[in-house]
Amino acid sequence: MKTAAATLLVMMCVLGSARADSRKDSCVNCHSALEDARLLKPAQLFDGDIHHQAGLTCADCHGGNPNDDSMDAMSPAKGFRGVPKKSAVPDFCARCHSNATYMHPFNTKMRIDQLSEYLTSVHGKRLKQGDSKVAVCTDCHGVHNILAVSDTRAPVYPSNVAGTCGHCHADAAYMKEYKIPTDQVAHYQKSVHAEMLAGGDTSAPTCTTCHGNHGATPPGVKSVASVCGTCHVFFAQLFEKSPHQAAFAKMGLPGCVQCHSNHEIVRPSDSWVGTGPNSICSTCHTAGDAGLRSAQGIAHNLGRLDLAIAQADTVLDTAERAGMEVSSAKLELASANEALIKARVNVHTFLDTEVQKVTDPGLETAKKADQAGVAALQELNFRRKGLGVALITILVAIAGLYLKIRQIESKEQA
Amino acid sequence: MSLPEIPEKAGQPGRRWVNVLLGGGLAASVVSFLYPAIRYIIPPAVAESTSRSVVAAKADELKRNTGKIFKFGSKPGLLVRTSDGEYRALSAVCTHLNCTVQYRDDIHQIWCACHNGLYDLDGRNVSGPPPRPLEVFEVHVQGEDVVVTRKA
Amino acid sequence: MSGLYRNALAWLDERFGAGSVEEFLRHKVIPIHRHSIWYYFGGMTLFLFIVQVLTGILLLLYYRPTPNDAFESVQYMMTQVRFGWLIRSVHSWSANLMIFTAFVHMFSVYFLKAYRKPRELTWVSGMLLLFIVMGFGFSGYLLPWNTLAFFATKVGTEMAGSVPLVGKWMLIFLRGGEEVTGATLTRFFGFHVAVLPGLATTLLAIHLMLVQQLGMSTPPAVEKAIAEGSEPRRIMPFFPNFLLRDMIGWYAALGALGALAAIFPWELGAKADPFAAAPAGIRPEWYFLFMFQTLKYLPSKVLFIDGELLGIFGFSAAALVWVAVPFLDRRIGFSRATRFFTGAGVFVIGYMMVFSWLALR
């Protein structure tokens, strides 16, 4: 019955959405005139709410009679539900949002499994156990001024998500009893993912990308690689076949996170590989073991190629600035760079031989580019020598002319 | 405007040396001008290729469902012969980090080996990191040759 | 050696009457005085013009005048063709040097008043040659089809369009259409290698014939001194004395050109993209800078006349007056009128230098 009435209401709204504002809503009319901020605020906020724009009124969630101007409008007899308790909020929202028939006319693509997902989450489980500090729908989506996810002002818009989660998770005092870290947001802000997001790439990962949104749960140790591997496909594939996979699994280490961290994921550097001061390999491997030897080999190969490219680049730059045409050599060098990129991917096989397979052809290309640059400089030298020869012949000719003039004119004067 | 006077030494040998110097200097300088000019006139070994179009392959060279990398100006291009026998030609420079892409005959798409970027045969970037589509070229079969031309 | 020379001359004389040419040349004399150094500049300009013709012909062997190939063909010449870099850089440097010596030659003639009767037509033909030479510079500049060339041409031809009545037609004629396109390139190429060389050769022939016919002019001050007896009349035979000195200058110029080509090779730039935005700081070659800068300073409207139009008219009027100077400055002597013209000349040089410097800042 209620469903039918609501559907009818919706149809009227959809057909005459322009008239939504003119439909009688005694709740808003009354509450807007109140002085108590707590009662005034919802009426003020509701104007921008997505539910309001879809044609819903206060009564559609809270019950009651919007046509009644008296206080009677809020009588339980008229179906008034009042303000739901925090623990009842998920069910309150799910009344509509988990109802496929109800939601379909509003948005055919909208999911209706948020509640069932939520119940699998840490938040949902703890809520059921009576913890009222955990997040419920309204904590993340807001209440009375709920915006679409695609609205940039929404607390759940990708670039706002970290702030929304951090509202609790970065509050050390609030989170004290849970004994989990509260520095995730701070770490995340330093990451390359946060940088991508700030740069406008909304496909960049934020908290919910890896943890899930409604079913928010930190990925277990075994599933870290799958989570990262959703985007970083090659690395996950290579890692899976590498000796680290079995070793990490045995030791209960979380795959990618072990070296790359979970929240503060920064741009990796070649210096992480090998035995240098920044080396991550050295944190587990000790001198003399096979792993460290492999790491040294990998670092050596990467370093060699990097150096060769830099060298060729310098030579070509010098030649270019001296006026020689070396654009095609520079383009060839770009493919050596490509080899370096691929080699860095192959680091995740953790086998020196695999990395060398890629760096060796890159070295060949870099060497060729270097040779082209040297040849250009040699040609420049040749030109200058040639010029010198030509200038000498010209000077001899000028000297000859000068002497001839003197000879002729001294003869004339004699 | 006469040149400064310097006392003339004994005539004949001096005059001969001046003539030798003058003649030699003139001749040598003329040679130093003619030598580059003559080398210039001889056409170089590398024939020039216009940047607008290039013969990417022979008509029966490419089997169906295969791809070939060819040189287009100073950048690589990719020529694909689809399973239907049609030709497609695109720039082979990946729009992510400029690696050279390739045709994958198992998934019938264009793939970048560096970071798993995928493009469809119209060059559209369908998955992975590439931010923009590949540049598409025109292909025509002219007699024996498959000619690829930059779009106007 | 001289026997061979005499036999060859005699052989030619029987067929061409070449002996009379040699006789004439033998009698050509150059007046020697404190200003004689300026006499070298005409010959230097001619020599550089010949260098341009020769290197230009060599460039023609490889250059392709279409928008798809022009830049690539120049790039090919610079990188693949043996000594292509030399021929191309010499051509570009010599062009600039030639325009410089042409201006020096013109100004030296002006200040030494060599344009007075009977040499008025020599002056007129010389001024026309100067305009043609600047036309060579403008048309040749577009041919490498790089960004700088493309936009400089666009701006330059745009100004032609602002002339009233004929402006639109002039613009379309120059550009071969409404915009600068491949048609413009073809047209400029035609101007540069056929039309302008033809015109230049004709005018050059007239100019040189007049010079030979009328002999070298002596400046009025020197003539006065000679008449008063305070200075002896000194002359030097053209052949071989002056010619040998000329050759020293020409060889020095060749050396300079070679050095410039090897040490400061002419830039290739980037291929022109008609759809790209014009890069900041586009300006024409140095010999157009003073005009360019003047137009920048003119307000967009002076009374009811468009500022740019005023500038163009101003320069055209000034050029016309300049060409007509021999007919205006008749009373050559030490009259005030003469001093006025000298002063005007100093002003013009100063103006050109100051405005060129301003444009480069």
Q: What tens digit of pLDDT does each residue of C24-70 get? A: 778 888 888 888 899 999 999 999 999 999 999 999 999 999 888 89
pLDDT of residue B110: 94
Any idea what the Cα angle at residue C212 is, between residues C208 and C218, rounded to 5°? Answer: 105
Using CA atoms, how far apart are residues B56 and B62, in angstroms rounded to an integer?
A: 10
Question: Chain A window 314-353: which residues touch B at a Cβ cutoff of 8 Å?
Answer: 327-328, 331, 334-335, 337-338, 341-342, 345
Residue that wins the pLDDT comparison between C189 and C166: C189
Return the minimum-mean-pLDDT range out of A106-110, A195-199, B41-45.
B41-45
Question: Above 70 in pLDDT, residue A365?
Answer: yes
Q: How many CB pairs under 8 A join B and C?
A: 47
In the three-class reduction of DSSP (H, G, I as helix; E, B as strand; rest coil), residue A49 is classed as coil
At residue A9, the pLDDT reads: 57
A283/A275 Cα distance (integer angstroms): 10
Could you please report the per-residue DSSP string of A255-319?
Answer: HHHHHH-SS--PPP-GGGSSSSTT-SGGGT--TTSHHHHHHHHHHHHHHHHHHHHHHHHHHHHHH
Q: How far is B146 from chain C, CA to nearest CA, in Å?
A: 20
3-state class of C205 per DSSP?
helix
Supply the mean pLDDT for chain B. Answer: 82
Q: Is A379 on the interface with B (CB under 8 A)?
A: no
| Chain A partners (3+ C-beta pairs within 8 A) | B, C
Is residue A259 a contact partner of residue A272, using CB atoms and an 8 Å limit? yes
Range of the domain at A236: 219-253
Whether B50 has a pLDDT exceeding 70, the answer reads no
Buried b (16+ CB within 10 A) or exposed e, A153-178: ebbbbbebbbebbbebbbeeeeeeee
Q: Measure the CA–CA gap between A26 and A237, rounded to whole angstroms.
A: 61
Contact predicate A41/A83, CB 8 Å:
no
pLDDT tens per residue, range A32-88:
888 888 888 888 888 889 998 888 888 888 888 878 888 877 888 878 888 888 889
Question: Would you say the C-alpha torsion A252, A253, A254, A256 has a positive or negative sign?
Answer: negative
In a domain, A357, yes or no: yes
Instruction: DSSP letter for B89, please.
Output: E
The answer, for C243 touching chain A at a CB cutoff of 8 Å, is no
Distance CA A149, CA A155 (A): 8
What is the pLDDT confidence band of residue A127, given thresholds at 50, 70 and 90?
very high
Query: Nearest to residue A66, comparing CAs of A14, A29, A117, A97?
Result: A29
Q: What is the pLDDT of residue B46?
A: 65
Range with the largest mean pLDDT of A29-33, A385-389, C335-339, C353-357: C353-357
> Which one-letter DSSP state was computed for residue C271?
B
Determine the 3-state secondary structure of B68 from DSSP.
Answer: strand
Determine what percent of chain C is predicted with pLDDT higher than 90.
Answer: 42
| Residue A3 reports pLDDT greater than 70 | no
Query: pLDDT > 70: what percent of chain C?
Result: 97
Confidence of residue A17 (pLDDT cuts 50, 70, 90): very low
**Amino acid of residue A190:** K
Rounded to whole angstroms, the Cα distance separating C330 from C117 reads: 8
HSE value, Cβ hemisphere, 13 Å, CA-based, for C276 = 12
Quote the pLDDT of residue B80.
94
CB of A171 closer than 8 Å to CB of A182: yes
DSSP A178: G
Q: How many CB atoms lie within 10 A of CB C90?
A: 27
Say which range, A372-381, C3-12, C342-351, has the weakest mean pLDDT.
C3-12
- pLDDT at position B100, please? 87
DSSP secondary-structure letter at B81?
Answer: E
- Average pLDDT, rounded, for chain A: 86
Among the ranges given (A13-22, A336-345, C31-40), the one the predictor scored with the smallest mean pLDDT: A13-22
Please tell me the distance from the alpha carbon of residue C194 to that of residue C107, in angstroms, as a whole number.
28
CA distance B96 to chain C (A): 23
Q: Is A19 on the interface with C (CB under 8 A)?
A: no
Q: Which of residues 300-339 of A touch C (CB under 8 A)?
A: 323, 325
Distance of CA C328 to the CA centre of its chain: 24
A230 touching B (Cβ < 8 Å): no
**Contact (CB<8Å) A342/B116:** no
Whether A339 is covered by a domain: the verdict is yes
What is the dihedral angle through the alpha carbons of C37, C38, C43, C46, rounded to the nearest 10 degrees? 150
What are the helix (H) ranges across A98-198?
Answer: 100-103, 114-120, 122-128, 137-141, 158-169, 184-189, 192-198
Sort out which chain C residues have CB atoms less than 8 A from A409's CB and list them: 241
Residues of A in contact with B128 (CB under 8 A): 233
Residue C160 is which amino acid? A
CB atoms within 10 A of CB A6: 16
Residues 6+ apart with CB under 8 A from C317: none
What's the confidence (pLDDT) of residue C136? Answer: 96
Domains of chain C as residue ranges with CATH: 25-285 (1.20.810.10)
Q: What are the structure tokens assigned to A55, written together?
A: 């044609």
Of B15, B21, B100, the CB nearest to A396: B21
Answer yes or no: is A238 within a domain.
yes
Beta-sheet pairing, B53-58 with B145-149: antiparallel
**How far, in Å, CA of C294 to CA of A366, rounded?**
51
Nearest residue of chain C to residue B39 (CA atoms): C82
CB distance B98–A334 less than 8 Å? yes
Round to whole Å and give the CA distance between A136 and A165.
12
Contacts of residue C8, Cβ cutoff 8 Å, sequence gap at least 6: none
Out of A384, A394, A405, closest to residue C255 by CB: A394
Interface contact A334-B22, CB threshold 8 A = no
DSSP of C222-248? HHHHHHHTSS--EEEEIIIIIHHHHHH
Cross-chain residue pair C241–A405, CB shorter than 8 Å? yes
* C-beta of residue B59 within 8 angstroms of C-beta of residue B146: yes
Alpha carbon distance A404, B9 (integer Å): 14
Chain-chain contact of A383 with C85 (C-beta, under 8 angstroms)? yes
Contact C87, B40 (CB under 8 A): yes
The predicted model gives A249-268 an average pLDDT of 88
Q: How many CB atoms lie within 10 A of CB C68?
A: 16
**CA contacts within 13 A on the Cβ side of B19:** 8
- How many CB atoms are located within 10 Å of the residue A99 CB? 13
Q: Which residues of C touch A386 (CB under 8 A)?
A: 262
Helix C289-297 and helix C336-360, axial crossing angle in degrees, nearest 10: 80
pLDDT value at residue A359: 93
Closest by Cβ to A400, choosing from B22, B31, B100: B22
What topology is assigned to B53-149 in CATH? Answer: Rieske Iron-sulfur Protein (2.102.10)
Q: Specify the 3-state DSSP secondary structure of B142.
A: strand
Adjacent-strand bridge partners of B66: B81
pLDDT category of residue A115 using cuts at 50, 70 and 90: very high
Q: What is the CA radius of gyration of chain A?
A: 36
Q: Token pair for residue C160?
A: 């032609």
| Chain centroid offset of residue C305 CA | 32
Beta strands in chain B (DSSP E): 53-58, 66-72, 75-81, 87-91, 102-104, 109-112, 117-119, 125-127, 136-142, 145-149
Q: Is the dihedral of CA A139, A142, A147, A151 positive or negative?
A: negative
Minimum CA–CA partner of A383 in chain B: B36
Asked if C332 and C90 touch (Cβ cutoff 8 Å), the reply is no
Pick from B74, B38, B62: nearest CA to B139 = B62
C26 vs A: CB within 8 A: no
> What value does the mean pLDDT take over residues A323-347?
84
Interface probe for C, chosen from A324, A326, A330, A383 (most Cβ of C below 10 Å), is A383
Query: What are C276-295's pLDDT values in tens digits?
Result: 777 777 778 888 888 888 88
Identify the pLDDT of residue B49: 53
The residue among B93, B94, B79 whose CA lies nearest residue B148 is B79
The pLDDT mean for chain C works out to 88
Position A297 in a domain? yes
At A69, phi and psi to the nearest 5? -80, -10
Task: Please indicate whether, in this complex, the C-beta atoms of A394 and B24 are within 8 angstroms of each other.
Answer: no
Q: Determine the distance in angstroms separating the CA of C82 from the nearest CA of chain A, rounded to an integer.
A: 11
**Do residues A350 and B123 touch, judged by C-beta distance below 8 A?**
no
Alpha-carbon distance values, C83 to A377, B39, C40, C265, C358 (Å): 15, 7, 30, 12, 37
Overall domain count for chain A? 2
> Any bridge partners for residue B148, and if so which?
B54, B139
CA neighbor of A183 nearest in space, from A113, A263, A255, A121: A263
| Residue C240, preceding peptide bond in cis (omega within 30° of 0) | yes
CA atoms within 13 A on the CB side of A31: 19
The tens digit of pLDDT for each residue in C293-337 reads 888 888 777 777 777 778 888 888 999 999 998 888 776 555 666
What pLDDT band is residue A23 in, cutting at 50, 70 and 90? low
Parse chain B into domains and list their residue ranges: 11-42, 53-149
Where do runs of H (alpha helix) occur along C162-297? 167-175, 182-190, 196-214, 220-228, 243-263, 289-297
* Amino acid code (one letter) for A7: T
